[in-house]
Amino acid sequence: MRHLLDVCDLSVDELYSLIATAEDIAANRAKYAHILDGKKLATLFFEPSTRTRLSFEAAMLELGGQVIGFSEASSSSASKGECVSDTARVVANYADIIAMRHPIEGAALAAAEKSPIPIINAGDGGHCHPTQTLADLLTIHRELGRLDDLTIGLCGDLLYGRTVHSLINAMLRYKNIRFIFISPKSLRLPEYTLRALEEAGAQAVETASLEEYMPDLDVLYMTRIQRERFPSMEAYNAVKDSYRLTPDKLESAKATMRILHPLPRVNEIAKSVDDDPRAAYFRQTFNGKLMREALLLFLLSDAAKSAPSNLPKGEKCAEKCPNPKCITNNEYGFEMMCTSLEDGTKKCRYCETKL
Ligand code: CP
């Protein structure tokens, strides 16, 4: 059985195949209207969402399937202390596949370890958000016609922005990608993403300026400063207004450049940018539904269901994960597991923090 916990759970060939399926769904809607008749998706959202939850639900309904689930932890037995793996194990009796969002990093993996049905990570804290990356990849492919040979600027909250971490992991596997990381110093990328960039020998520069590299960019990926992940309001207030994309800042950008944003936005893109043909973020939300349809078809296919488990490998270890937001520090009964790194050190199997 295959799960989708990290975007790298899908090979590059599989990503291209999902893109082709998404395009076919868009062009031949009637062909897919009953393809998942009798199947049920459970959306278990322990954290707020508009796009991810509703696009998953719309995706399943448009494929002929049905949907059950909850949209907040307070209406589930998590509010009574149930652990995420027990929830997944129970819901597996009622559904064929689970899409789960959780504020704690590594929660989707913890659920997948005990689940007899596929788990889709719909966002685990500040760690990753692989299905947003599927939306991002289809958008880039549709708008620019390629996933290779790109200069991508990622701007805003690179520390807590899980969509950024997943997009980088995905783009590291395409040819000739140059990254421009635009953030305040305090919101630079986390260590595990920097490590992935270093291991891949990626072309990357860091800057605090939104304008500096604007003429070079093929894609500008704007992000919201993630207020809910900051340790204090004081820390959030210090950086909350760091960037604001306005029409004048786009004057030096290529006519073919595309602006993406996972949304929701707060104030980092002025509404006056929305009518610029380069603004692709609302088209991106539609693409998210198409890719989630393609993903449901893939994970519920006989081939994926009979495939060997793709859970990340790990070994028992005595150390405690240093990340207070890791699932291993937030639920009882966890046997800590870690994975060895190339340099001989170890990372937490659940949240990837270096031990
Ligand atoms: N992009 C994204 O994850 O949006 P939601 O939080 O609304 O699902």
Mean pLDDT, residues 181-188? 97
52 part of the active site: yes
**pLDDT (mean) for 110-133:** 97
Which amino acid belongs to residue 73?
A
- Ligand 1 near 52 CB (within 6 A): yes
Count of Cβ atoms closer than 10 Å to residue 239 Cβ: 18
DSSP structure class, residue 18: H
CA distance linking residue 266 with residue 208, whole number of Å: 19
Number of C-alpha atoms within 13 angstroms, CB side, residue 298? Answer: 25
Q: Decide: 71 in ligand 1 pocket, CB within 6 A.
A: no
Contact 4, 111 (CB under 8 A): no
Intervals of CATH 3.40.50.1370 along the chain: 7-128+287-305, 130-283
**pTM for this predicted structure:** 0.96
**Predicted local distance difference test score (pLDDT) of residue 343:** 86
- Nearest-CA residue for ligand 1 atom 6 is 49
Q: Which of 7, 55, 132 to mutate to test the pocket of ligand 1 (most atoms within 8 A of CB)?
A: 132
51 is catalytic: yes
**130-283: in CATH 3.40.50.1370:** yes
- Per residue in 214-254, pLDDT (tens digit) is 999 999 999 999 999 999 999 999 999 999 999 999 999 99
Please say whether the beta carbons of 56 and 41 come within 8 A: yes
- How far is the C-alpha of 27 from the C-alpha of 128, rounded, in Å? 30
State the catalytic residue, choosing from 21, 52, 223, 353. Answer: 52
Residue 50 Cβ contacting ligand 1 at under 6 Å: yes
Ligand 1 in reach of 262 Cβ (< 6 A): yes
Q: How far is CA 13 from CA 9, 18, 142, 257, in A?
A: 12, 9, 17, 25
* Cis amide bond preceding 264, omega within 30: yes
Q: Which CATH number fits domain 7-128+287-305: 3.40.50.460, 3.40.50.1370, 1.10.238.10, 2.102.10.10?
A: 3.40.50.1370
